[in-house]
């Protein structure tokens, strides 16, 4: 198994013979049109049931449900609520109220009814039914399911090309772009369709296909045609196309002498482009815009506000019903230099930039906010901007691709982290205000708005993300966006059963590995809220704590010989803690009430500061790196216990990664510990740091064709060599 089917394998399950389960004898679709989701639902059901039970069911189109029920003993009836009640008006009374994209599923004695509020919802219902069957759940059920929020999008950071011909994926670890090649949309979009199928099965309703650092060339007529083809590949699965825009396009592509969002020519240019796009993609979801951040152009170039920038697109999209998702990840790297200004803090930027704009956005604008105020670190407090935009809908940006979290070469199951973030209670106005209730509109907006964006970055690799086990993150993202009440371990078990098997041993081992993976990774990388401590200027991968300080991109540990951490208090620091509602601000302002795992995020303390656990900060660093790396050493052995219980192809692929991770965890452990040992001069109470008696230094070996080499950062090798 190469992973291409993801969790939609429809593998035969032990004992699941057609005769052991009362299956419908035919699938009847209502008002199905080829290329649209109800039609797809019929095909998918037929394919799934054949895979699981070895029985091929015919898919028939019906104008009239009644006559089919007579013809077949049992049927699976599949369609929208509207189509169903048109054919049988009396049935309406028995049906629950469904929200957009919701579905109703009733399985009763071999008869199956799958109804969607719309076409997409119907397909979701079919996938839900198949998921039950694939997990061996063959009892009669009635399910009414509605999504928690309307925005359930993935973002792909795909480049149209990358120097040469490649369409690379920024921060993608699973190969090249499945959409672009050589500056154009690929001719063969098979993978785009397969991706849409996976996305639909977990309730994702749109995919932004190109990098937020967008290339204006995306909007040439030829490429717009190509985007139309991507949308065609998505449409059978109800996945709408979204597009990232480069703010300067009217100038760089359109030849205008400006891209000022208030300039009439610019307004007209975007209107025309938008109309052209909707001609090719009538159901386009909308735009995603990164502006005035990390060198990207934006409205502030012309002294216009971010709201004026967002509204430019809002106006162009409105006649077509499109949404403009505008990113809150706005900061100016050049003005943040700690050597110039001790109080400069990139964490403050988003709230400051959006200050005063809450009532300025058009109603089809959604602000997309990264979960933390910096950038996808292993631990961050939840962005306070969620509580500042009470009129403007917001969506949370989560990162499925593990940019700072081991890049799929380390196992990090992210659902536990996401759950903590989504369940975080901001106590706005002293009332319960969980992140999840803010982004679905419940807490402030009192209507269903906003939602979830996941930076997925799948690629051409058959594993999609580069690692089989990392696919649990894509799965969990969709499941949580649909229902944030689901538990991390519950989602995981669902995924394991679909992806691997119902073998209890397999479920236990993958669950154990995955559930400890985030705390383990945190232990051997950056602790106590100091951030991940990756190399910050280049790949964001291996250890390089020195690179965190004194760079204009602004993630600081502010470590010196005596103390460490970033003082973000109001009384003495950058003031970031004051961006939270009063109760939370007070919690973070005070060292005594700041949780240990965020201590160094909010406070600058001596290495000898004693934590709530009773340990000093430096000893906690040492211990937790040893403990975390030790846990990672157990992963390959645990995995070995599954040999023979999983197909060899995936077994070996995963084993290779876990062995690698175990080794790299040691590199992390020793790099970080050596670095802070050197810096602080404080000995490890257990005398481990700097002491590796088992280790044979490369420079003391006789090596053919190798020479000793001085490495940078020095702490990545003992003796710097
Ligand atoms: C950072 C990534 C960079 C993205 C940026 C963003 O390193 O590649 O362009 O975020 O989200 O995490 O815009």
Which ligand 1 atom is at minimum distance from the Cα of 290? 13
The domain spans of the chain are: 18-145, 151-499
pLDDT at position 337 over 70? no
Least confident span in 375-379, 437-441, 556-560: 556-560
Cα torsion through 332, 338, 344, 349, rounded to 10: 30
Q: Three-state SS across 574-612?
A: CCHHHHCCHHHHHHHHCCCCCCHHHHHHHCCEECCCECC
Instruction: Write the CB contacts of 61 (distance below 8 Å, at least 6 apart in sequence).
Output: 28, 29, 30, 32
User: Across-strand partners of 413?
Assistant: none
Other Cβ atoms within 10 Å of 631 Cβ, number: 19
Strand partners, 116: 80, 103
pLDDT 10s digits, 392-403: 999 999 999 999
Atom of ligand 1 nearest to the CA of 455: 11
The residue whose CB lies within 8 Å of the most ligand 1 atoms, and thus the one to mutate among 380, 403, 535, is 403
- How far apart CA 269 and CA 272 sit, in angstroms, is 5
Test site for ligand 1: of 154, 156, 157, most ligand atoms within 8 A of the Cβ:
157
**DSSP structure class, residue 429:** G
> How would DSSP label each residue in 334-396?
GG--TTT-TT--GGGHHHHHHTT-TTSS-TTEEEEEESSSSSS-SS-PPPGGGGT-SSS-EEE
Q: Are 151 and 451 in contact (CB under 8 A)?
A: yes
| Rg of the chain in Å (alpha carbons) | 27
Instruction: For tokens 């049935």, name the residue.
Output: 91
Nearest CA to ligand 1 atom 2: 171
Given a cut of 90, whether residue 577 has pLDDT beyond it is: yes
Q: Atom 10 of ligand 1 has which residue's CA nearest to it?
A: 375
pLDDT reported for residue 323 = 98
Which residue reads 């040999």 in tokens? 643
pLDDT computed for residue 540 by the predictor: 93
Ligand 1 atom nearest 399 alpha carbon:
12
- Cα separation of 454 and 199, whole Å? 11
- Token pair, residue 513, equals 């590995």
Cβ–Cβ under 8 Å, residues 478 and 458 = no
Q: Do domains 18-145 and 151-499 have the same CATH topology?
A: no
Residues that are catalytic: 294, 375, 403
131 Cβ contact list (under 8 Å, min separation 6): 201, 494, 498
Q: What is the pLDDT of residues 656-671, one digit of tens each?
A: 999 999 999 999 999 9
**Is a pLDDT exceeding 90 seen at residue 4?**
yes
Is the pLDDT assigned to residue 717 strictly greater than 80? no
Task: Name the closest-CA residue to atom 13, ligand 1.
Answer: 212
Residue identified by tokens 């969506």 is: 395
Q: What is the pLDDT of residue 65?
A: 53
Q: How many angstroms separate the alpha carbon of residue 326 from the centre of ligand 1?
A: 15
CB of 101 within 8 A of CB of 145? no
* SS3 assignment, position 140: coil
Residues 6+ apart with CB under 8 A from 407: 173, 401, 466, 539, 540, 541
Query: Cα(47) to centroid of ligand 1, in Å?
Result: 39
Class of domain 151-499: alpha beta
CB contact set of 553 (below 8 Å; sequence gap of 6+): 333, 336, 346, 536, 537
Cα-to-centroid distance, 293 and ligand 1 (Å): 9
User: Quick check: 216 and 161 in contact, CB under 8 A?
Assistant: no
The predicted pLDDT at position 338 comes to 44
Q: How far does residue 403's CA lie from ligand 1's centre (Å)?
A: 9
Taking only the tens place, the pLDDT of each residue in 347-387 is 999 999 999 999 999 999 999 999 999 999 999 999 999 99
Q: Kind of pairing, strands 103-108 and 141-145?
A: antiparallel
Q: Is it the case that residue 64 has pLDDT exceeding 80? A: no
Percent of the chain exceeding pLDDT 90 equals 83
Residue corresponding to tokens 């029920």: 69
Q: Report which protein residue has its CA nearest ligand 1's atom 9.
A: 213
Average pLDDT over residues 485-491: 98
- Tell which one of 212, 297, 333, 536 to mutate to probe ligand 1, the residue whose CB is within 8 A of the most ligand atoms: 212
Residue 69 confidence class, pLDDT cut points 50, 70, 90? low
Above 90 in pLDDT, residue 472? yes
Q: What is the pLDDT of residue 565?
A: 95
* % of the chain residues with pLDDT over 70: 94
User: Model confidence over 517-548: pLDDT tens digits?
Assistant: 999 999 999 999 998 899 877 789 999 998 88
Q: What is the CATH number of domain 18-145?
A: 3.30.379.10
Q: Whose CA is nearest to atom 11 of ligand 1?
A: 329
Instruction: Give pLDDT, residue 546.
Output: 86
**For residue 555, which of 573, 535, 578 has the smallest C-alpha distance?**
535
Going from the Cα of 488 to the center of ligand 1, the distance in angstroms, rounded, reads 26
Nearest Cα residue to atom 12 of ligand 1: 375
Look at the chain and count its residues. 721
The chain-wide mean pLDDT, for the chain, equals: 93
Rounded distance, CA 38 to CA 122, Å?
Answer: 6
Map residue 315 onto helix, strand or coil. Answer: helix
Q: pLDDT tens digits, residue range 109-150?
A: 999 999 999 999 999 999 999 999 999 988 899 999 999 999
pLDDT digits (tens, 9 = 90+) for 692-703: 766 777 788 888
Interatomic CA distance for residues 694 and 679, integer angstroms: 24
Closest ligand 1 atom to residue 211 Cα is: 9
Main-chain dihedrals φ then ψ at residue 605, nearest 5 degrees:
-135, 160
Return the H-helix or E-strand segment holding 154: strand 151-155
Tell which atom from ligand 1 comes closest to the C-alpha of 293. 13
Name the residue with tokens 């007209």.
268
| Contact residues for 495 (Cβ-Cβ < 8 A; gap 6+) | 7, 471, 472, 475, 476
Q: Which atom of ligand 1 is nearest to the CA of 404?
A: 12
Q: Smallest Cα–Cα separation from 544: which of 696, 686, 405, 716? A: 716
719: region left, alpha or beta (phi > 0 left; psi from -120 to 50 alpha): left
Unique residue bearing structure tokens 């030829």: 222
- 334/354: higher pLDDT: 354
CA of 550 to the centre of ligand 1 (A): 19
Once rounded to an integer, what is the mean pLDDT over residues 140-167?
95
Report whether pLDDT(18) > 90.
Answer: no
Question: Comparing C-alpha atoms, which of 103, 138, 3, 112 is closest to residue 482?
Answer: 103
Least confident segment among 114-128, 311-325, 502-516, 685-699: 685-699
pLDDT in tens, 89-116: 888 888 999 999 999 999 999 999 999 9
What pLDDT, in 10s, does the model give residues 417-434?
999 999 999 999 999 999
Q: What is the pLDDT of residue 719?
A: 74
The pLDDT score that the predictor gives to residue 681 is 96
Band the pLDDT of 63: cuts 50, 70, 90. Answer: low
Query: Averaged over 253-273, what is the pLDDT?
Result: 98
On whether the CB atoms of residues 236 and 35 are closer than 8 A, the answer is: yes
Question: Whole-angstrom Cα distance, residue 302 to residue 123?
Answer: 46
* Token pair of 657 as six digits: 């990664």
How close is the Cα of 155 to the center of ligand 1, in Å? 12
Three-state DSSP at 721 gives: coil
First CA to last CA distance, the chain:
41
Pocket of ligand 1 (CB under 6 A): 170-171, 212-213, 290, 294, 329, 375-376, 403
552 Cα to the center of ligand 1, angstroms:
15
Return the best residue to mutate from 154, 156, 169, 170 for the ligand 1 pocket (most ligand atoms within 8 A of CB).
Answer: 170
């Amino acid at each position: 198994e190469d992973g291409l089917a993801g969790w939609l394998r429809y593998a035969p399950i032990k004992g699941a013979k057609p005769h052991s389960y009362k299956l419908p004898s035919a699938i009847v679709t209502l008002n199905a049109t080829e290329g649209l989701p109800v039609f797809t639902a019929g095909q998918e059901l037929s394919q799934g049931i054949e895979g699981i039970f070895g029985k091929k069911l015919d898919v028939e189109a019906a104008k009239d449900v009644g006559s089919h029920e007579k013809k077949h003993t049992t049927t699976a009836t599949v369609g929208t609520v509207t189509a169903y009640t048109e054919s049988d008006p009396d049935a309406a009374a028995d049906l629950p109220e469904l929200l957009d994209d919701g579905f109703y599923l009733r399985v009763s004695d071999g008869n199956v009814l799958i109804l969607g509020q719309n076409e997409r919802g119907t397909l979701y219902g079919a996938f839900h039914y198949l998921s039950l069957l694939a997990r061996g759940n063959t009892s009669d059920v009635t399910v009414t399911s509605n999504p928690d929020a309307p925005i359930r999008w993935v973002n792909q950071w795909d480049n149209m090309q990358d120097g040469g011909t490649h369409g690379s994926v920024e921060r993608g670890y699973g190969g090249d772009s499945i959409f672009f090649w050589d500056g154009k949309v690929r001719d063969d979009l098979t993978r785009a369709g397969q991706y849409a199928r996976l996305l639909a099965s977990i309730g994702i309703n749109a995919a932004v296909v190109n990098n937020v650092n967008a290339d204006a060339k995306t909007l040439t007529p030829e490429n717009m045609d190509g985007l139309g083809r991507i949308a065609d590949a998505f449409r059978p699965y109800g996945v709408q196309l979204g597009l990232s825009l480069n703010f300067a396009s009217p100038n760089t592509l359109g030849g205008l002498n400006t891209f000022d969002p208030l300039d009439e020519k610019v307004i007209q240019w975007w209107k025309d482009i938008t109309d052209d796009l909707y001609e090719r993609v009538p159901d386009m979801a909308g735009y995603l815009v990164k502006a005035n951040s990390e060198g990207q152009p934006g409205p502030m170039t012309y002294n216009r506000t971010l709201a004026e920038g967002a509204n430019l697109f809002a106006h162009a999209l409105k006649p077509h019903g499109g949404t403009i998702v505008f990113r809150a990840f706005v900061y100016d790297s050049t003005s943040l230099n700690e050597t110039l200004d001790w109080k400069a803090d990139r964490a403050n930027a988003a709230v400051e930039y959006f200050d005063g704009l809450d009532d300025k956005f058009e109603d089809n604008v959604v602000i997309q906010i990264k979960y933390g105020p910096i950038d996808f670190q292993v631990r961050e407090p939840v962005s306070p901007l969620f509580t500042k935009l009470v009129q403007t809908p917001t969506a949370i940006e989560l990162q499925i691709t593990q940019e700072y979290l081991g890049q799929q070469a380390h196992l990090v199951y992210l659902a536990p982290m996401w759950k903590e973030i989504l369940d975080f209670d901001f106590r706005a106005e002293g009332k319960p205000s969980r992140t999840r209730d803010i982004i679905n509109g419940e807490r402030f907006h009192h209507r269903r708005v906003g939602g979830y964006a996941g930076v997925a970055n799948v690629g051409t690799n058959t594993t999609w993300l580069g690692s089989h086990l990392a696919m649990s993150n894509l799965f969990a993202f969709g499941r949580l966006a649909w229902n944030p009440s689901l538990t991390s371990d519950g989602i995981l078990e669902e995924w394991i059963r679909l992806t691997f098997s119902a073998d209890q041993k397999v479920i236990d081992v993958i669950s154990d590995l995955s559930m400890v993976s985030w705390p383990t990774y945190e232990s051997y990388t950056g602790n106590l809220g100091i951030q991940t401590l990756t190399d910050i200027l280049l790949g964001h991968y291996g250890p390089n704590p020195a690179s965190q300080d004194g760079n204009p991109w602004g993630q600081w540990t502010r470590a010196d010989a005596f103390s460490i951490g970033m003082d973000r208090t109001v009384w003495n620091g950058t003031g970031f803690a004051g961006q939270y509602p009063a109760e939370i601000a007070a919690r973070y302002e005070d060292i005594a009430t700041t949780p240990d795992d965020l201590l160094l995020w909010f406070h600058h303390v001596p290495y000898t500061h004693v934590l709530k656990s009773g340990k000093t900060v430096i000893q906690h660093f040492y211990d937790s790196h040893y403990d975390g790396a030790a846990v990672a050493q157990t992963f390959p052995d645990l995995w070995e216990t599954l040999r023979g219980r999983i197909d060899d192809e995936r077994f070996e692929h995963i084993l290779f990664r876990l062995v690698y991770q175990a080794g790299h965890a040691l590199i992390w452990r020793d790099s970080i510990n050596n670095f802070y040992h050197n810096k602080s001069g404080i000995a490890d109470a257990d005398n481990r740091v700097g002491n590796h008696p088992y280790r044979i230094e490369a420079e003391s070996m006789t090596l053919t064709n190798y020479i000793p080499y001085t490495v940078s950062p020095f702490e990545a090798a003992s003796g710097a060599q």
